[in-house]
Amino acid sequence: MPLDDHHLQHLRDAANTAEERIYTNWRVVSGPPFSGKTTLVDSLGSCGYQTVADCGRRAICENLQEGRTKVDARSNFEGLQRRISDLTLDEALVLAPSDIVVWDYSLPDNLAYLAVTGHGWPEIFIERAVRFHFKQVFLLQPVGDIDHLTDPVRVESLAFSLELYKVMKTVYETLGTEVVEVVELSPESRLNRAKAYLEFD
């Protein structure tokens, strides 16, 4: 769907009027496919930070284990996003909001993926996106095109990734999350940038 002011105002209103919005000390590492998200999250985990793995990759792998191709695994895209959302919510419900937790994607990212692929925003996705307020999102820029031959899950193009980056930024800003755009290219520089914010807490 085109992401217009109407959709964003609806999301903003939902965040402002949510009866049980939970303000957390959680951070999200977000960005398009092949932006280095998982590398950064894994590195932060090695430094001792509590992390949550990418539930999207987990959901897609469930479909692949049933014998589907990477493309077929996305044939019911809204259903796939609902499964990702369910898995993500399960993770969130067992975490303490006061703990520093670093996520590899989280609930607001479902909205970005739905928008860029031309889908609407069913109310359940909005409700979950506003339920937890994340302290910061480290938004990583795409570093190049995806190697579809070696990545067992991803199918997205660089053009898709560039559009997704813009929509992710807009969604998180609309939700009131501080967006930290990570422009450094080397994994070490990205790690140091993220640690600087986490250690400042």
For the whole model, what pTM was predicted? Answer: 0.91
191 pLDDT more than 90: yes
Domain count, the chain: 1
Select from 106, 93, 108 the least CA-distant residue to 41: 106
Residue 57 CB coordination number (10 Å): 17
Q: Say if CB 41 and CB 148 are below 8 A apart.
A: no
Residue 171 CB coordination number (10 Å): 26
Q: Say if CB 41 and CB 29 are below 8 A apart.
A: yes
165 pLDDT more than 80: yes
Model pLDDT, residue 87: 98
Model pLDDT, residue 1: 64
Q: Say if CB 100 and CB 78 are below 8 A apart.
A: no
| Domain interval for residue 31 | 5-200
CATH code where residue 159 lies: 3.40.50.300
Model pLDDT, residue 34: 83
Write out pLDDT tens, residues 58-88: 998 888 888 877 677 788 999 999 999 999 9
